[in-house]
Structure 1
Amino acid sequence: MCGFYFQLNKQKSNFINSYKISKSLRHRGPDDKGVYAKKKIFAVHTLLKIQDVSNKSKQPFSISFKKQKFNIIYNGEIYNKDEIKEKILKLTKYKLKTDGDTELFLLSFILWGKKFIEKIEGMFSYVIWIENTSEVFFGRDQFAQKPLYYFNSEKYLILSSEIKPILIALNFHKEKIFFNIKSIKHYFLTLNFSYNENTFFQKIKQLNGGYTGSLVKKKLKIIKTLKLKLPNKNEKKIYDINKFENISEYIVNQHLVGKVKTGIALSSGLDSRYLLYLISKNKKILKNLTAFTFSFENFKNETKEASNICKKLNIKHYIVYYKNKEFLNQFKRSLKYNEFPVGGLPQLAMFKLCEKAREKGIKVLIGGYGADEHFGSYKTFSHQKIKENQLVDGTLIKNEKFLKKSEKKKYGSEISKNLIEKKISYFLNLKIPRTSLMCDRFSMSSSVEFRNPFLDRRLYDHINQLKNIETKKKYPIVNILKQNGLLNKKYNKIFNQSPQKQIMKKKSIIKILKNIINDYEFIETINFIKFKNVLKKIDENQMLAWQIINIYYFFHTFKNIIIQKDLKKKIKN
């Protein structure tokens, strides 16, 4: 996995020092660095070696083909790599120079054009440019697993794996940068973020999952290229557990590619347990596999059940303990990596789990995120109507009463559709992008690649074909685990409860929250909230407290870059 930065100057302009950019991306790729600086284009790439551990796949990577030179910076994995390789070798006499998938990715673009990503199964973001033409092409995978942000103006187009390098570059170019108050307000009212093109910074956009973009003749064009299929209503539903197991095993094995140590983020739940079962069938991988489980102190946890599974399969197992006293320091640090709010205390625990994994030499972690969305097993799926300000457990965020009168607006539009359309509209378009962001940030902060086999288009399509999936939810996984002695007949999920409510009620946290009213910079910038009203409810509403502390520390993490000049003058006076 990697990090990259790309800048095309549309007007005469200097390039920023490559060291500053590569330093801000080093956690995404500590193994190597590549720089490209020619004419109008400047690119930096930091590399995490996983498939090709030699120096042959160093990026930016170039291929000369039919009198044109194509260049790429790429962040991702192709899981159907062998299939793509076979197709390419049938079409061209080009001799492959590397063992990695970067070369295959670029060749796919050269041979099949802008819609080449329809043939690729994987997670990725990329920038491709054709030398001497200033034509640029970029894109992102269906489930938004690998990030891509951009800034476009009359002067330049900037694309990056993270927002911080863009902020650094815009500061270098003395561009004015402001917080995106509209996006912050939307988060306050719905708890949603990272699901559309808007970030928490004005003019810095996110390319949505499944979208591609191009800059040709200075004209920027962005389109949706990858779309999830809606099942054919006339298609006969199937009830074939063996077929489900075969398809999921094939996909999981593709997610195990690489020449580095692999681990699994394991809970006592069905999803990661099923993945572990499938991995255990691959004896070569199982031999060196390590499992990691997080646990909160003084809370009912999943460690005993997870340990029992590992003992049964003879897998090395580490338990990562999260202590409440670690919260504030880790929360502030995680916000820098996240560049959006922290989703919840379990995300902080996953930051720590990935640190432990890297400490043990793990470069790839497998996880079970995405299964609940595909199987429709969240509580909200049973609701006839879902609202955008509704959590997966059915809870509604009701923060409109804390808005100033001039800011009040009706939020919480309804998503009233059948199960499959709910999946696409609410979970896959609204919730999965946030989950993908969190997985990317808690893993890449420790230079670990996190792979989610359930976030695969082929598995999504197959699950939608299953008979009775609307009512029996995860019956294929349950039956397979029971048949193989990995699930008791009286199985009840031991939810890894989080002490988030208790932490938000701690005196030290309440003191911080109640002192916000005295922070002039913050109050003047986040000016849509009636903070006096909020502080009256902060003791009893932990979710409100969580949102406020997110917004507060997000502001202070980035304010030195963002804060408006006229506001600085007011503070001085």
Structure 2
Amino acid sequence: MCGISGWIDFQRDLTREQPAIDAMCATMTCRGPDAGGTWVRPHAALGHRRLAIIDLPGGAQPMAAATSDGEVAIVYSGEAYNFTELRDELRRRGHRFDTDSDTEVVLHGYLEWGPQVAEHLNGMFAFAVWDTRTEQLLLIRDRMGIKPLYYYPTEQGVLFGSEPKAILANPLAEKIVDADGLRELFVMVKTPRQAVWSGMHEVEPGTIVTVDRKGLREHTYWRLQAAAHTDDQQTSVSHVRELLDDIVRRQLISDVPRCVLLSGGLDSSTITALAGLQLAQSGEQVRSFAVDFVGQTEHFVPDEMRATPDTPYVHDVAEHVGSRHQDIVLDPDALADPAVRRATVQARDLPLGLGDLDQSLYLLFKAIRGHSTVALSGESADEVFGGYKWFHDPQVQQAENFPWFAVRSLPVRQTNTLSPDLAAAMDLESYVADAYREAVSSVPVLDGESDLDRRMRQICYLHLSRFVRVLLDRKDRMSMAVGLEVRVPFCDHRLVEYVFNTPWSLKTFDGREKSLLRHATADTLPKSVVERVKSPYPSTQDPKYAAVLQRQVADLVAAGDPALSLLDEKWLREAMKQDPNGIDQAARFTFERALDLSTWFEIHHPTVKL
């Protein structure tokens, strides 16, 4: 796993711009702490920071290959899980390799197949290829958008990077956020290509962006398609298991220590169990980690999202699988530490206000990094198999809105915490409605589907094309901020395609959520986990945490922090009056937002233009 950056300029001599190129590359050090380098030619500069995972001595980048009529260079982030098979195929086609790295395989794959190399890859990846033969840049991103990639067109070319910070380090990039950028911050709609920063764009998953002297253009090489599902129930269950066995086997490949993330839910427990079975074949014990909070299990209070604490189920799985397990237990002071908040906002480049959900994940990954460099996660199974409660709510199924808004009324809650003038100018309700219509219009259609199957296809598609990207981005940023590679087996495109096209009746054939996954893996799991009701990523319930936030926001108010101008000052002051031992969720959410905004302004000094 790595961080990439670059600058293409068809008028400027970039060999004279080494300081700016180095600055862009340096912002990616957290993603690649092991090594770094640049490759600079008059009109193209590529930067790379490396986290060594495969072929530790031989995978240095940028990597270039000489051909009879020019040079081709690549900077690559990610993993191609089928690189050994591709290397064998390329060797049969006459290619010779000097390393054992997957990067060299991708580079030679480009020499053989051109941009179509993306269609040959199974994995998570974001990479840039500069072809001197055509003076053409290609930016290529994996099918599900597991690895990030951004670009910023300029008058004479383009800037690009794994994260916005790489682009913003270049003097050509302006730190401006316009009205639509702000809207993206305050509602989770994940508009395609929208990167919040004005002028900057995100390469869409499954997409190739080409830049040359003629300009910039996009090509989609993969998208979800509707297809008839002809397998019966048992065949479907068996095929899901076969896919998962193959996926986990591939994603355990590593030349550095690896582990699994375990929450005690069906998804992470499945990955832990399958990884345990795979590693046992070579006499190796799977290692697992879980996040917990001081006193959470003893004092847990069920709420609308979480009916049970994670830890008892985590320990059931660890004992059942025989994993070498460790709980990472966090206290309120660690979660509310301003330095930790700064690290998470810096990693995100944005103030998303998710608070302890980000901070605990960052601290979990930081602790894991002391033992492992690669971790497998159960992320995205809910989007693939239909696991969230709102999938099964008849009112949500019928609502003409994003399901995660229909159940929570988030646009309304967000508007209530904004300054009145900003709320009126942003009109988040209309923005969400427009985004929903656009999203639904792109859902693939299968002739002959029932009304329920058609609607559930829409809901599944919205989660796979919008919601999951928010979660994948969070996972990537928090893990790469500490140099940890997190792999997501449930995002293998073969599994996503297969399950997407199973009818809703098959996804729920036992009267519960995620029927296919539960029955495909029940034989590997303790009964307690097989029967457990879905519970999202945990959040601390300790009132001390919210009380610390309240004191920190009081300091911002007293100092007249400029970031607070975006929020409703009257509402914020009322929230400040709440009893520190009984702060409600709305107030806590607003405190998180205020603190994130303040930190963001301090780091980036953005110019907000409405």
Q: For residue 258 of structure 1, what is the aligned residue in structure 2?
A: 254
- Point out the more displaced range, 240-249 or 16-25: 16-25
CA offset at residue 547 of structure 1? Answer: 5.2
Task: Please give the alpha-carbon distance, in whole angstroms, between the structure 2 residues aligned to 1:407 and 1:483.
Answer: 51
What percentage of residue pairs aligned between the two structures are identical?
18
Structure 2 unaligned segments of length 5 or more: list them.
298-308, 441-453
Q: For residue 394 of structure 1, what is the aligned residue in structure 2?
A: 407
Distance 1:420 1:408, change over 3 A: closer
Paired amino acid for 1:57: G
Q: For residue 600 of structure 2, what is the aligned residue in structure 1?
A: 557
Task: Please give the alpha-carbon distance, in whole angstroms, between the structure 2 residues aligned to 1:124 and 1:565.
Answer: 32
Indicate yes or no: 2:454 matched with 1:441. no
What secondary structure, in the 3-state scheme, does the structure 2 residue paired with 1:506 have?
Answer: helix
Indicate yes or no: 2:234 matched with 1:239. yes
Indicate yes or no: 2:533 matched with 1:519. no
Indicate yes or no: 2:519 matched with 1:491. no
Task: Please give the alpha-carbon distance, in whole angstroms, between the structure 1 residues aligned to 2:555 and 2:41.
Answer: 53
- Point out the more displaced range, 497-506 or 124-133: 497-506
Task: Please give the alpha-carbon distance, in whole angstroms, between the structure 2 residues aligned to 1:565 and 1:488.
Answer: 50
Distance 1:57 1:536, change over 3 A: same
Q: For residue 24 of structure 1, what is the aligned residue in structure 2?
A: 27
Task: Please give the alpha-carbon distance, in whole angstroms, between the structure 2 residues aligned to 1:460 and 1:279.
Answer: 20
Indicate yes or no: 2:105 matched with 1:104. yes
CA offset at residue 6 of structure 1? Answer: 0.6
Q: For residue 384 of structure 2, what is the aligned residue in structure 1?
A: 374
Paired amino acid for 1:332: R
Match of 1:275 among 259, 271, 275: 271
Q: For residue 327 of structure 2, what is the aligned residue in structure 1?
A: 319
Q: For residue 212 of structure 1, what is the aligned residue in structure 2?
A: 208
CA offset at residue 96 of structure 1? Answer: 1.7
Indicate yes or no: 2:496 matched with 1:456. no
Q: For residue 506 of structure 2, what is the aligned residue in structure 1?
A: 469
Cα deviations across residues 209-260 of structure 1 (Å, max 9, x unaligned)? 1121011224111232211122326x45443233321221011111111111
Task: Please give the alpha-carbon distance, in whole angstroms, between the structure 2 residues aligned to 1:5 and 1:552.
Answer: 29
Task: Please give the alpha-carbon distance, in whole angstroms, between the structure 1 residues aligned to 2:218 and 2:41.
Answer: 25
What secondary structure, in the 3-state scheme, does the structure 1 residue paired with 2:170 have?
Answer: helix
Indicate yes or no: 2:359 matched with 1:348. yes
What secondary structure, in the 3-state scheme, does the structure 2 residue paired with 1:239 have?
Answer: helix
Contact 1:231–1:464 (CA under 8 A) maintained in structure 2: no
Task: Please give the alpha-carbon distance, in whole angstroms, between the structure 1 residues aligned to 2:218 and 2:373.
Answer: 33
Task: Please give the alpha-carbon distance, in whole angstroms, between the structure 1 residues aligned to 2:367 and 2:571.
Answer: 41
Cα deviations across residues 118-139 of structure 1 (Å, max 9, x unaligned)? 2211100011011264211111
Match of 2:67 among 55, 61, 65: 65
- Tell me the C-alpha RMSD between the 2 structures: 3.0
Q: For residue 570 of structure 2, what is the aligned residue in structure 1?
A: 532
Task: Please give the alpha-carbon distance, in whole angstroms, between the structure 2 residues aligned to 1:565 and 1:79.
Answer: 42
What secondary structure, in the 3-state scheme, does the structure 2 residue paired with 1:309 have?
Answer: helix
CA offset at residue 466 of structure 1? Answer: 4.6
Q: For residue 303 of structure 2, what is the aligned residue in structure 1?
A: none
Match of 1:296 among 293, 296, 300: 293
Cα deviations across residues 462-492 of structure 1 (Å, max 9, x unaligned)? 2245563342332233335443462249832
Structure 1 unaligned segments of length 5 or more: list them.
567-573
Task: Please give the alpha-carbon distance, in whole angstroms, between the structure 1 residues aligned to 2:193 and 2:381.
Answer: 25
Distance 1:298 1:390, change over 3 A: farther
Match of 1:230 among 220, 226, 229: 226
Q: For residue 570 of structure 1, what is the aligned residue in structure 2?
A: none
Paired amino acid for 1:249: D
CA offset at residue 286 of structure 1? Answer: 6.4
What secondary structure, in the 3-state scheme, does the structure 2 residue paired with 1:28 have?
Answer: coil
Cα deviations across residues 40-68 of structure 1 (Å, max 9, x unaligned)? 222211111111111x3211111223423
Q: For residue 47 of structure 1, what is the aligned residue in structure 2?
A: 50
- Point out the more displaced range, 206-215 or 396-405: 396-405
Task: Please give the alpha-carbon distance, in whole angstroms, between the structure 1 residues aligned to 2:115 and 2:538.
Answer: 45
Paired amino acid for 1:121: N
Q: For residue 569 of structure 1, what is the aligned residue in structure 2?
A: none
Paired amino acid for 1:298: G
Aligned residues: 554
- Point out the more displaced range, 472-481 or 61-70: 472-481
What secondary structure, in the 3-state scheme, does the structure 2 residue paired with 1:259 have?
Answer: coil
Q: TM-score, normalised by structure 1?
A: 0.88
Task: Please give the alpha-carbon distance, in whole angstroms, between the structure 2 residues aligned to 1:544 and 1:210.
Answer: 39
Cα deviations across residues 409-455 of structure 1 (Å, max 9, x unaligned)? 5334257752122211x211111111111111111111111001001
Contact 2:6–2:160 (CA under 8 A) maintained in structure 1: yes
Task: Please give the alpha-carbon distance, in whole angstroms, between the structure 2 residues aligned to 1:489 and 1:9.
Answer: 55
